[in-house]
């Protein structure tokens, strides 16, 4: 981590400019912004649970389609 301290007699604007370039050169902001939007990896348990839910939904949809309560959808272009 870079350490930024205001030098004696340095104006705030020049300190701010030095601070920004220091952060850019150290890639601190880039790394922190990248980590901000990372989603945690899904575990095997969560993947299996989602797969089972998808299978249940597929079975339910197929049952409704066969009983005529759900109209058949055409796939592809209309």
pLDDT score at 1: 57
Q: Is the pTM of this model over 0.85?
A: no
Q: What is the pLDDT of residues 2-48, one digit of tens each?
A: 688 899 999 999 999 999 888 888 887 888 888 888 878 889 999 99
Dump strand ranges (E) for the chain: none
pLDDT score at 27: 83
Q: Is the pLDDT of residue 69 over 60?
A: yes
CB 49, CB 31: distance < 8 Å: no
Q: For residue 76, give Cα distances in angstroms to 5, 16, 23.
A: 63, 56, 50
Burial per residue of 23-54, b for 16 or more beta-carbon CB atoms within 10 angstroms, e otherwise? eeeeeeeeeeeeeeeeeeeeeeeeeeeeeeee
Q: What is the DSSP letter of 64?
A: H
What's the rounded Cα separation, in Å, for the pair 5 and 64? 69
Spans of all domains in the chain: 12-67
Highest-scoring range by mean pLDDT, 26-30, 51-55, 63-67 = 51-55
């Amino acid at each position: 981590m870079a350490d930024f301290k205001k030098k004696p007699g340095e104006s705030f604007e020049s300190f701010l400019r030095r601070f920004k370039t220091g952060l850019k050169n150290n890639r601190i902001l880039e790394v922190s912004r990248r980590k901000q939007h990372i989603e945690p990896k899904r575990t095997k348990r969560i993947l299996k649970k989602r797969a089972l839910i998808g299978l249940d939904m597929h079975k339910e949809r197929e049952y409704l389609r066969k009983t005529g309560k759900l109209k058949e959808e055409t796939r592809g272009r209309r």
